[in-house]
Amino acid sequence: MTGPAARPPAPHAGLTDTPVLRILVQGRSLAMQLCVLLKTAKIHDVGNVAFHGPLVNFIETVEQLFTAEGEFKLQAVGDFLYINQGRLKLDGSSYASYQYLIDEFRNRGLSGFAFNGKVTPPEVKKFVRLFLDVDVKAEDPYEGFSAALLKLSVEHLVPLRTVVPQTGAINVEEARDSRKVAKRTFYRAIEATKTVMLSGRDKKPIDLRKAKRAVQSIVDLILNEEFSLIGLTAIKNHDEYTFQHCVNVSILSISLGQRLGLNKKMLGELGVAAILHDLGKATIPGWVLNKPGKLTAEEWKLMTDHPVQGVKMISKLRGLNELALRAMIVAFEHHLNIDMSGYPKLGDHLAMSLFSRIVAISDCFDAMTAHRSYRRTPFTPYEALHHMLVANREKFDPLLIKAFVNTVGMYPAGTVVLLDTNEIGVVTEHNSRDIFRPKVKIVADRDRKKVDGALVDLSKREEGSDTYAVGIVSALIPEEYGVNVADALT
């Protein structure tokens, strides 16, 4: 493969106007409130005073949405919730609620509900009672539920039936379970990281147990190779960037550590150290972190002090055990380079630890592939890797960077690629036998029309031939082609 290829014309990018965003925010509220409503009704009768608050909130939100949108739908598709056509953004704090609703809908054979009018308190109370009374073991729970709603004149909440996949249902379920576990682990890790960092920021005692458990689950998943967590790191959530970045660095570091042959305990320590690597940034004001332009000397000083701040914060942990010591070293060294350039420049520091060298690589890779305030368009994973291997190769441990490429592939998960079939695909998983030939999910056909295409293994050869069936022409910038990487990866 040689030479840059001309990039194909971009299809229409998604809408980002304010009304759409507002609907999504209200949709989020609706989903969260419905979740609270159902959970409350499981404990208290719908006539109980405890039910009143959630009921009022829910009715108000339905009213706002109906006023803005007219008839609207709240639906679960795959592992996401949608309000009409807009997917509700998943983050650490909403993950558990969304998952609860998706599971509850699925158990009742529902994909969700259509709201065709403003709802009243009696109507909602009847709806909730009936919803919870559905016999989930019945052959067709939807049927009975739907009939019961009609019988009790619940007219503005219309249940929508799940569309059952026609083929390979069992495999789909299995894959879904595996994905679900991975996603749950991922979002729990983000929540745990958030708790740790915000505790650090507010000078509260830091409890690492949650983060440790999350990391241990990540290690288990990576060791069992059940589902590519690396793929999840490619889904960037701007709102929770800091926390997700730490989790991503942890996942990438553990993956690299596993590739190197670190034992389970060390992988756990590496993962936690990686989660804590940027803890010191909790002390930096948001406007400095978010500043789009260059930094003043004072801001720069603040920024470059975060490794030192990290050490100080970790030193406050109860019990300075091996894990805490490793985390302190990583926090201190992760902005040093292999030639000991970088910062902070204190004492006679002679060499970086292996953990720090691993985290430095993961940190750089994830930071480059994320949206940053000072860089409108993130680098594609492919570009980031290219940059680390060529332009900045003297900064990283040459052996580790090689091992890293072998871990994530030359086209890491999340890379949007133009195939030689002229289709566009998103790399979902790398191929450990051939780092140049990952698995790709087709997201646009040769006419640039968006499709929910097949998963193609690029290492497959044409039947009876040594020639590969499909190859990569070039990596693309997703924003230029309106590709939603998250959709393909989840």
Partner 1 sequence: MANPSIVKKPSAEEKAERIGDQVLALDVKRVADWIQALVRTLKAYRMYLPNNPTLHKFQSDLEARTWSCLKEIGDIVLNVQQFDLLFEDYSVYHNAAREESLAFRFYTDGVRQITFREGLEPQELRGILEVLKKATDPTQGQDDVVTLLWERDFRHVEYVHISIDEIVEEGSGADYPPDPNAPDGGGIPWPVSSVAAEQEAPIQGPEETVVDRSDDWSPKAKVEATWDESSVGIQFNLTDQETRALNEAIRVEEERPLLNEVLEIVSAILKSEEEPTSFLESATSFQKFIEQALEEGDLARANELLSRLRTIAAKRAETHGEFRALTEQVIREIGRPSFLGQFAPILNAHPELDPALLTNFLVQIGPTAAGAVCDLLGQVNHMKHRRALCEALAISCKDDVDVLISRLGDSRWYVIRNVVYVLGRIAHQGVERALDRALHHEDVRVRKEAVRALGNIESPTSRAFLVSAFRDLDASVRVQAALTLAQRRDDRAAQSLWGAIQAPDFAKRDQAERQVFFEALGKCASDAFVPRLSELITKAGLFRGPNEEERFSAALALAWLGTPKALEVLNRELQSKKEQVRRSIETALETVRNAALGKGAKGPADDDAPAQESGPAEGTP
Which residues, 213 to 232, sit near partner 1 by CB under 8 A?
213, 216
Give, as ranges, the residues between 265 and 324 that touch partner 1 (CB under 8 A): 265-266, 268, 281-287, 289-297, 300, 303-304, 308, 311-312, 315-324
- 260, 413, 442, 483: which one binds partner 1 (CB under 8 A): 260
Where is 186: in which H helix or E strand? helix 169-201
Tell me: does residue 92 bind partner 1 (CB under 8 A): yes
Kindly tell me which of 137 and 433 has the beta carbon lying closer to partner 1: 433
Q: Per-residue x/- marks for partner 1, 343-362, CB under 8 A?
A: x--xxxx---xxx-------
Residue 106: what residue type? R
Tell me: does residue 234 bind partner 1 (CB under 8 A): no
Q: Per-residue x/- marks for partner 1, 407-436, CB under 8 A?
A: ---x------------------------xx
Tell me: does residue 22 bind partner 1 (CB under 8 A): no
Closest approach of Cβ 32 to partner 1, in Å?
A: 10
Relative to beta strand 455-457, strand 416-419 is unpaired
Kindly tell me which of 228 and 407 has the beta carbon lying closer to partner 1: 407
Give, as ranges, the residues between 365 and 404 that touch partner 1 (CB under 8 A): 367-368, 371-376, 379, 382-384, 386-392, 399-400, 402-403
Residue 83: what residue type? I
- 10, 20, 38, 325: which one binds partner 1 (CB under 8 A): 325
C-alpha 425/C-alpha 145 separation (Å) is: 41
Got the DSSP string for 398-455? HHHHHHHHHHH-SS-TT-EEEETTS-EEEEEE--TT-TT--EEEEEE-TT--B----E
In this structure, the dihedral spanned by the alpha carbons of residues 22, 24, 30 and 34, taken in order and rounded to 10 degrees, is: -170
Kindly tell me which of 195 and 428 has the beta carbon lying closer to partner 1: 195
Which of these segments, 107-115, 127-135, 167-175, 328-336, binds partner 1 (CB under 8 A)? 328-336
Exposed/middle/buried for residue 290 (C-beta within 10 Å: 0-12, 13-18, 19+): exposed
Residue of 272, 270, 252 lying closest to 208 (CA atoms)? 272
Instruction: Please say whether the beta carbons of 215 and 250 come within 8 A.
Output: yes
Omega before 344 within 30 of 0, i.e. cis: yes
Closest approach of Cβ 145 to partner 1, in Å?
A: 28
Kindly tell me which of 161 and 372 has the beta carbon lying closer to partner 1: 372
